[in-house]
Amino acid sequence: MNKNRLILNFAFFTILLIFVLSITFSLFGQDTTNDLVKFIKNRYSNIKDYQGNIILQQGDKGALQNGEMLYKYPGKFKVTINTPEKKIYVSDGKTLFIYYPALSIVATQQLRGKASLPYGQSKETVDYLFDAYTFNFTEGKALYTFNNFKVYKLKGWPKRYEAGFKSLEIYVDDTGFIVYQSAVTLEGKVVRYYFTSYKTNVDLSDLLFNFDMPDNVQVLENIFE
């Protein structure tokens, strides 16, 4: 895989990650989008951080990639893909780093002004999500089995072209945590990831979100500009 295509794949997953980090919520008894938004805003005060094991897949036939996700409010996250190839996505809330050891590449993006807005949980990100997408239950409001979870299934469609994806699909477990998300990009590419386990409010240290720049790597700055 050439380096330009690699960075593009990084970008697809990073954008998907931005969305899932901004929408952790409870869906119990929610019949309308307005009810859902109220529960989302109430949910923010309950989750300060979380960690979980995830599986990432790029494309319907793409290899399953196993890793770990860490998140801490506001705007800090780290995703470490361990197999089949090591990859690291990490943000301290100010700078996003994407590291691919096999190619000795580090891509960066300074998060400043409006560019930093979607990278954390806030009222602004919630407002943006439900302003940009319309969500509906995909199979009614019953719970369905997904892996070890009981989940609600929802699908979202953009209200405008700039929203970023053609569609989003979300599974939310019976505690209100998003355990699955799939997105179709404007180019028709599918990116998905899901949790196999997770814990919330585990008091993660800020040090976990620091990135030590490796020696002898090529640095690509501000890849989204």
Quote the domain boundaries for residue 79: 3-220
Q: Which residue shows structure tokens 């295509």?
A: 5
211 is a domain residue? yes
pLDDT digits (tens, 9 = 90+) for 182-196: 888 888 888 898 999
Q: How does pLDDT run along the chain (225 residues), one tens digit per residue?
A: 455 555 555 555 665 565 555 444 334 444 554 565 566 666 656 888 899 999 998 888 888 999 999 988 878 889 999 998 899 999 998 898 999 999 999 999 887 654 444 444 344 455 666 677 787 878 777 788 999 998 878 888 888 776 678 888 888 787 778 889 888 888 888 889 899 999 999 999 999 999 999 999 999 988 777
Q: What is the CATH number of the domain that holds 118?
A: 2.50.20.10
225 is a domain residue? no
Q: pTM for the full model?
A: 0.79
Domain count, the chain: 1
